[in-house]
Structure 1
Amino acid sequence: MPEGDTVWQAARRLHNALAGKVLIRSDLRVPKFATADLTGRTVLDVTPRGKHLLTRIEGGLTLHSHLRMDGSWRVYEHGRRWSGGPGHQIRAILGNAERTAVGYRLPVLELLRTADEERAVGHLGPDLLGPDWNPDQALANLLRDPDRALGEALLDQRNLAGIGNIYKSELCFLLGATPWLPVGALPASRAAQLPALAKKLLEANRDRPSRSTTGHREQLLFVYGRAPRPCLRCRTPIRVANQGDGSRERPTYWCPACQLGPAPSRTSGPNRATPRGATGRR
C-alpha cells in the first residue's frame, strides 16, 4: 500500500493535468458507474486525503479512488501511447484536450456527491500532509489503546493518515522502539516527538523522486528492506518479520540492538524486493 507522500505526488500530477479543464473523455470501467458520463464538466481539483484521492468535478461530484497495493494513475500527453498495463486493467479514463489520466488496477473507484465525501474518508485521523493536521489529536488517537503494538497503531489510518509500511519501520527505528512495543510503553518524551517526526519525514519526501529518511544519498533508509545487512548506526544485522495490522501481515524491519522492546523470536528471510527509496541514488 502506498505511503502518504506517494499519494500526495499522484494527486499533484492529476491536479496539474486535469484541474480547470473540461473533460472531453470519461470512462469509468466499474459496473456500478459504467454508465456515468462526466464529459462537458470541468475538473475543479484533485485532493489527497491520507491514502485516498478525491477528484472533484463540476456539478457537485467527486471521483474517489484508492491505490492500495497495485493501483496507479498515469498521465499522458494527448496522442501519446498508454503504457501502464494491458487494457483490461484500466478502471478509469479522464481526458481533456491536452492530457489523459488513466487509472490502472484501482481496487476502489466510486462516484459520489462531494457533499458525501465524509462517507469515504470521514473515518480517517488527522492527515500528515493535509490542512487538518492536528498533532495532539494524532497522539491521543495512538495512545487510546495503550496495549496495541506501536507498528499496528501507526498503520491504522483512523489514528493518523498517511503512514505506510516503510514509514512504520523507519519511525520505530528513529524512536528507538521495536514495532511490537505496546504504544503505552513508549517513553513519554519519545511519544511526544512521534507526530512531529512523522510529519517531518513525509513532508521532506513529498517532493522527492526517491524516498529518504537518513539524509544520505547512498543509504536512503535506516532499516526497511535492509535485512540482513548491518545497521547504519551499530552494524548489528537488521532483522525482518511479519507483523499484522488487522488486515494482513506485512514485512517489518528493525535493529535488535538500537530498538528496545519485544520482537518475534522467528524472523523471515531477507526481503529481496526493492521498495521506492530503499537503494540507489536520489
Structure 2
Amino acid sequence: MLESALYRSAVALRTALIGKELIRLNTPLSAGPLPEVGSTIEEVRCHNKSIEIVWDDGMVLETQLRLLGGWHLYRQGEVWKKPQDSAHVVVEVDEWVAACFNSSSVETYRDFDPRRHPLLGTLGPDLRSASADIEECVDRMMGYEERDETISEVLHDQRIMVGVGNVYRCEILWACEIHPWAQIGTLKRAECRELVQLAHEMLQSNYVHPAHKSAEGVTHELAAYGRQGKACHRCGDLIRVAHHGEASRVLYWCPGCQTAHQPLVRPNFTPLSIDRDGMYVDQHPAAQMFMQDVISARGNSQHNTH
C-alpha cells in the first residue's frame, strides 16, 4: 500500500471511528486478546506500512498492509465492494463498518504501561464489582509512594484500582473539578474518596445500562471525553486534549473549571493540537491527529532535503 494511500485511509478511519464505542470486532487471523464490546476507540495510528486502532482500555489492533491491501469504510447497510468473508478485520461502530483486506498480518495486543501490568504489583480492588472495597482504594491512594505523580496516572494504576479506563478517567476528573496534572500528594482523603466513589458509581451504572454514564447533569453525551474544542457544560471554556503519561494516552479536560490542585509547572505532555485559539480548532479529535501527521511529514521532508 502506497504511503499516501495509507495516510488517506488513516484519516478516513479516524473520522469514522474515533470516539465511537465498539459494537463488533472480527479478527479471524488473530488469536490475541480483544477489546471489550462497548470500549471506545480513541486513536488511529499510521506508520511504515501499518495502521493501528487503539481503544480506551489500552488494546491495540495492528494491521500490516501489503501492496494491494487496505481498509474499506462502509456505512451501515451499504453494499461491500469485496466479499465480507474475505475481510481480515471487521470493526463495527455506530453508523460505520471498517474492513481490512489483504493484510500481511493482524495482531492485537495491549499497549505496555508498567503501572497497569498485573505482574508488577498486587492488583487493587476491581471497581466493576458491586462489592469493591472503596476504602482500600483510598488507602492505596493516600499511601502512594510517588507523591508527585499526577492523579491522572494514579487513576490508571491497577495497583490502586481496576476498571477505570481512559473515558472514565476523563469524566471522573471533570466531575470532581480536579486538574488532571494535580499531584496525588496534594489531594486530601475526602477528595480521593470522592474520585473512587464516583468511579465505582459510573462503572456500576454502565453495567446496568450499557452506555457510558457521565457526570450528574450531563445527558446524552460525555462531559469531557471526545469533546475537544467544544464548550464545557459547566463553565463554557473549551475542552482541551493532549497525550499524557508513560503510555501517552489521550486525555481531555477543561482548563476553565478543572482547577483544583492545579500545579504551577505542568509535567511533560504532548499536545494534540497546534497552539492557537481554540475557536478555530476542528472539534473532531481526528483532525488534531491529522495535523500532527502533516507536521511530522513536513518535518521529515525538510530533513531529507538537507
Shift of 1:272: 2.3
In structure 2, what is the Cα distance between the partners aligned to 1:210 and 1:84? 32
Contact 1:225–1:273 (CA under 8 A) maintained in structure 2: no
Give the TM-score normalised by structure 2. Answer: 0.49
In structure 2, what is the Cα distance between the partners aligned to 1:185 and 1:212? 28
Relative to structure 1, is the Cα distance of residues 83 and 206 closer, same or farther in structure 2, using a 3 angstrom cutoff?
farther
Relative to structure 1, is the Cα distance of residues 120 and 187 closer, same or farther in structure 2, using a 3 angstrom cutoff?
closer
Equivalent in 253, 257, 272 of residue 285 of structure 2:
272
Report 1:130-279 matches (<5 A).
Answer: 130=129, 133-143=132-142, 144-145=144-145, 146-214=147-215, 219-244=220-245, 246=246, 248-260=247-259, 261-262=262-263, 263=266, 267-269=271-273, 272-273=285-286
User: Where does residue 3 of structure 2 map in the other structure?
Assistant: none
Deviation string 1:140-186 (CA, Å, 9 cap, x unpaired) is 22222332100000011111000111111111111211111001212
Contact 2:138–2:189 (CA under 8 A) maintained in structure 1: no
Deviation string 1:91-148 (CA, Å, 9 cap, x unpaired) is xxxxxxxxxxxxx95437xxxxxxxxxx879832110013662111111222223321
Relative to structure 1, is the Cα distance of residues 153 and 122 closer, same or farther in structure 2, using a 3 angstrom cutoff?
closer
Letter of the 1:169 counterpart: C
Letter of the 1:177 counterpart: I
Shift of 1:216: 6.4
Shift of 1:221: 1.0
In structure 2, what is the Cα distance between the partners aligned to 1:255 and 1:232? 10
Relative to structure 1, is the Cα distance of residues 131 and 85 closer, same or farther in structure 2, using a 3 angstrom cutoff?
farther
Q: Runs of 5+ in structure 1 lacking a partner?
A: 1-5, 11-26, 31-47, 52-66, 72-80, 89-103, 109-118, 275-282
Give the TM-score normalised by structure 1. Answer: 0.53
Aligned-partner SS, 2:59: coil
Of 176-185 and 215-224, the range deviating more from structure 2: 215-224
User: Where does residue 86 of structure 1 map in the other structure?
Assistant: 88
In structure 1, what is the Cα distance between the partners aligned to 2:223 and 2:89? 38
Contact 1:169–1:253 (CA under 8 A) maintained in structure 2: yes
Q: Runs of 5+ in structure 2 lacking a partner?
A: 1-20, 40-56, 62-82, 91-105, 111-117, 274-282, 288-306
User: Where does residue 96 of structure 1 map in the other structure?
Assistant: none
Higher relative contact order (CA 8 A, sep 6+): 1
Deviation string 1:18-62 (CA, Å, 9 cap, x unpaired) is xxxxxxxxx9957xxxxxxxxxxxxxxxxx9xx9xxxxxxxxxxx
User: Where does residue 59 of structure 2 map in the other structure?
Assistant: 69
Query: How many pairs are equivalent?
Result: 183
User: Where does residue 109 of structure 2 map in the other structure?
Assistant: 107
Aligned-partner SS, 2:138: helix
In structure 1, what is the Cα distance between the partners aligned to 2:286 and 2:85? 22
Shift of 1:190: 1.7
Letter of the 2:255 counterpart: P
Relative to structure 1, is the Cα distance of residues 123 and 137 closer, same or farther in structure 2, using a 3 angstrom cutoff?
same
Identity of aligned residues (%): 27
| CA RMSD, Structure 1 to Structure 2 (Å) | 4.0
In structure 1, what is the Cα distance between the partners aligned to 2:272 and 2:239? 11
Of 182-191 and 209-218, the range deviating more from structure 2: 209-218
Letter of the 2:59 counterpart: M
Letter of the 1:166 counterpart: V
